[in-house]
Structure 1
């Protein structure tokens, strides 16, 4: 695991993203705060294709159950749940679209509230919500240079051709170096077992992915240490 990790704030775009991508890291650092950005529910009676695939009749039922799943998963890992309450992309027509600035503002409050010293953020691959969160996290980190920042590879999306390379190139173009942390990111068997149990908590999402659709979450977790290029 990375050295000198303390008071980590782990940023998750949706319920499940942080656990799927770095659940073993969270297990190794009890007391980590997991801030889920897109945890809000539209006020209108809304039904989406994804929610139906997950077995829900409407968004209210989906978000209520998904929050319960997330609470259970984070309890297994010894983490603290915090919610950002923005609407995710599938509910975009039914509320105010979040911006990088509005997400960064709420994350900045979380950093100060929890006296975070380490920020663990998504690389922001493929999904528009993940991209928004990544950009907001980079802004928060730039505003708090004392924070150590690690970017985790978004589970499932990291397998898509060229996305990881494109993000690393984008970071370099913005003057940010990304150094892989292979030597410190290996989880022990205990932490891996806790992650497996936590992943099972997201029953609705696993149902939609299908039995062969989420095997990547059990592969080696990988992250990159972010630093301003010299």
Structure 2
């Protein structure tokens, strides 16, 4: 079967986003690279409410543990981790304003990752909610436009895609930027081995699942959808 996802670089705003949103696709494409943008380590004296919910006493401990969870999840899917050093939005208030991530800096890091891995396909989040997801989406769009030979697909951000009107609003935004989004074929959806691999990978993110609660992440096991993006 021919496949449109050739040498994919999958952009994940945080640890778990790529696996939650397109883990079965990753299972179907062993060797895919997952670039996690916001994996920078904050100072040990920083503590946030979310990290406390996840069972951590400080942000440095949280990010270290989450990176290990991510390693285990990606190993299950035979995916290759690559990571940026940008700070998650929850940590930005604790650093000088000049150290906060920018769209331009993320785009530059992404461009370097594309070249480092000789990627031919870029898989990005729609950026349906959360400032980090939105920032990554915008930066990815900039890089894609600057590399016209690069195939680009957008995945529906798990959990956020259920928020009323978010996906429709993004489609309107893309259309206003002369970008066409078309549902992509997805042979992996019906493959039970890929779905099983995703479930095993999701379990690796124990700290996040704890914070979501038993009914807070069921969307990650619903049908994955990727959309091919093309310039009009």
The bucket for the TM-score relative to the shorter chain is over 0.9
Segments of 5+ residues of structure 2 without an aligned counterpart are: none
Partner of 2:167: 164
1:118 has 2:84 as partner? no
Partner of 1:213: 216
1:187 is displaced (CA, Å) by 4.3
Partner of 2:82: 82
Is contact 2:44-2:61 (8 Å) kept? no
The count of aligned residue pairs is 229
1:41 is displaced (CA, Å) by 1.5
Structure 2 distance, partners of 1:57, 1:44, is 9
- Superposed, which structure 2 residues align to 1:168-207 within 5 Å? 168-181=171-184, 184=187, 186-207=189-210
| Matching residue within 105, 111, 134 for 1:131 | 134
Structure 1 distance, partners of 2:162, 2:4, is 29
1:42 is displaced (CA, Å) by 1.5
Structure 1 distance, partners of 2:86, 2:155, is 21
Is contact 2:24-2:188 (8 Å) kept? no
- Superposed, which structure 2 residues align to 1:1-230 within 5 Å? 3-43=3-43, 45-95=45-95, 96-181=99-184, 184=187, 186-229=189-232
Secondary structure of the structure 1 residue equivalent to 2:91? helix
Q: Cα 1:7–1:182, aligned 2, differ >3 Å: closer, same or farther?
A: closer
Secondary structure of the structure 2 residue equivalent to 1:145? coil
Secondary structure of the structure 1 residue equivalent to 2:82? strand
1:12 is displaced (CA, Å) by 0.1
Taking structure 1 as the reference length, what is the TM-score of the superposition? 0.97
Structure 2 distance, partners of 1:49, 1:125, is 23
Is contact 1:185-1:223 (8 Å) kept? no
Is contact 1:69-1:203 (8 Å) kept? yes
Structure 2 distance, partners of 1:111, 1:181, is 22
Provide the aligned C-alpha RMSD in A: 1.3
Structure 1 distance, partners of 2:202, 2:210, is 12
1:163-211 superposed Cα distances (whole Å, 9 cap, x missing partner) = 0000010000001000112554624100000000000000000000000
1:63-101 superposed Cα distances (whole Å, 9 cap, x missing partner) = 000000000000000000011010011001123111110
Structure 2 distance, partners of 1:176, 1:2, is 24
